[in-house]
Amino acid sequence: MKNIPIPIVAIGPGSQASEDDEMAILNLPSGMATFHQPILPEPEDVEALERAREVLEATLAALRTYRCGDKPKVIELAGVDADNIDLINQAMGEGEVSARLEGDGPVLAQESVLAGVWRVQYLDQWQQVVRDTLEVADIPHFVRQPPNTCKALDLDFDGHPLASGNAPSLLAEIRDAQQAWQPGDDAHVINLSLLPVSEEELALLGERIGVGEVTLLSRGYGNCRIGSTRLRHVWWIKFYNSEDRMILNTVEISDVPAVALAAQEDIDDSAVRLDEILELYR
């Protein structure tokens, strides 16, 4: 089975703009992606593709009952043949957000044009698909539960050449915010773009909080690249303009950064749109 194309993007330290970059006039993101009705085959051309219609109806039922924060609703695609998969792919399209879980058993996720509907594929160590699903959720399940996160943050700067800089206070703020954060709390955001932080301090920050196994890319308005860290609920987020120049660099303590989540209103709209698509084949 063919893998869904999900880009792998670099997340972490070392991308703070130089003084020259800060003086340049940046081109801000210039467009917002909007929903376009998928181009679908005529009903008579897919009359035999009953399994695809069943999958799409099950997806519609899941969309109608799902509420943000619920456990994801999963539709298995095992045993669905290539022709039926093609129709499902045409109806789903490719949306703005993708995600990847690294590790011995990688997981790939691509949001469809229907917000809140994700194609999620599980790979083996040879990068072959061993499980293929549709998942209805505000974010794929593995993003909320990164498997390898530590609990302690190293704040020892005894004798370190950067002990008198900003890195120790930033790391202390991250530790305090992470320990205090509870489900339902607002995100705690540290805007590195507004702070006098050197490249060396950013590198140290990245070294101490580490690189996690979850990466997300949101392409709805410029690019937003999100990486989990080795600290639970701590994310490194970078926003880029249409020329791939970084315009915002932040560390966020939250469940999942809001920029990656499908909103309830969007999920409700997806149910309406999928119902309209299915009307062609009922």
Query: Would you say how long the chain is, in residues?
Result: 282
Cα distance between residue 172 and residue 178, in whole Å: 10
255, 40 contact by CB (below 8 A): no
From 34-48, 71-85, 177-191, the region with the lowest mean pLDDT = 34-48
Pairing status of strand 214-218 against strand 188-191: unpaired
Could you state, in order of their start, the residue ranges of all structural domains in the chain?
Answer: 35-144+262-279
pTM: 0.82
* Residue 141, amino acid: H
63, 267 contact by CB (below 8 A): yes
pLDDT at 154: 83
Cα distance between residue 35 and residue 32, in whole Å: 10
Q: Binning pLDDT at 50, 70 and 90, where does residue 92 land?
A: very high
**35-144+262-279 under CATH 3.30.1370.140, yes or no:** yes
Q: What are phi and psi of 82, to 5 degrees?
A: -60, -40
Find tokens 């590790």 and name the residue. 103
pLDDT at 131: 98
Q: What are phi and psi of 35, to 5 degrees?
A: -70, 135
* SS3 label, residue 109: strand
**Average predicted confidence (pLDDT) for the chain:** 86
Q: Binning pLDDT at 50, 70 and 90, where does residue 37 land?
A: low
Q: Binning pLDDT at 50, 70 and 90, where does residue 32 land?
A: very low
Q: Binning pLDDT at 50, 70 and 90, where does residue 201 land?
A: very high
Q: Which of 271, 278, 280 is nearest to 35 (CA)?
A: 271
pLDDT at 239: 95
pLDDT at 39: 74
Cα distance between residue 180 and residue 169, in whole Å: 16
pLDDT at 165: 83
